[in-house]
Homo-oligomer: A and B are copies of this chain.
Amino acid sequence: MNTTTITIHTGTARSAVDITADASAFVAGGGDGLLNVFVPHATAGIAVIETGAGSDDDLLDSIERLLPSDDGLYRHRHGSPGHGADHVLPAWISPSVMVPIVNGELMLGTWQSIVLVDPNRDNPTRAVRFSFLS
């Protein structure tokens, strides 16, 4: 298995950051296999969605509707408002996604991108681990 960790700047607002280019660069030349994209943080997830046409912001809105930043709803509520919700998010939007690779290329559909979903406002940088098994 070939594995590495990269650092992504997600800033201090809720964010959905497209990391497809990083994943693509990692698997380039790697033959056929499966890529695992894993974020080793308890308040983030990995999604495969379209980006750049509104759906990334629509996703952040849906997170606020389904997992509201209302600290009264959560036992775990230190730090910034919404931190309790951020800790529930990874159960619904998993921190781990697998992508098939053929001839060193991501077998994503035309409109699919790999996105780091980071609702957490307190951590402006995040690690993401890529692991390629062939």
**Interface positions of A (Cβ within 8 A of B):** 1, 3, 32-34, 36, 38-42, 45, 47-50, 53-55, 57-59, 61-62, 65-67, 73-77, 84, 87-88, 90-100, 102, 107-112, 115, 117, 127, 129, 131, 133-134
Copies in the complex: 3
Question: Contact: A59 with B93, CB < 8 Å?
Answer: no
Question: Contact: B96 with A42, CB < 8 Å?
Answer: no
Question: Contact: B38 with A100, CB < 8 Å?
Answer: yes
- B residues within 8 A CB of A127? 109
- The CA-CA distance from A32 to B102 in the complex, in Å, is 21
Chain A interface mostly: mixed
- The CA-CA distance from A87 to B47 in the complex, in Å, is 11
CB closest residue in chain B, given A102 = B3
Q: A58 and B76 in contact (CB under 8 A), knowing A90-B49, A102-B3?
A: yes
Question: Contact: B58 with A73, CB < 8 Å?
Answer: yes
Question: Contact: A91 with B117, CB < 8 Å?
Answer: yes
- The CA-CA distance from A56 to B55 in the complex, in Å, is 25
Question: Contact: B57 with A75, CB < 8 Å?
Answer: yes
- B residues within 8 A CB of A96? 48, 97-99
- B residues within 8 A CB of A110? 42
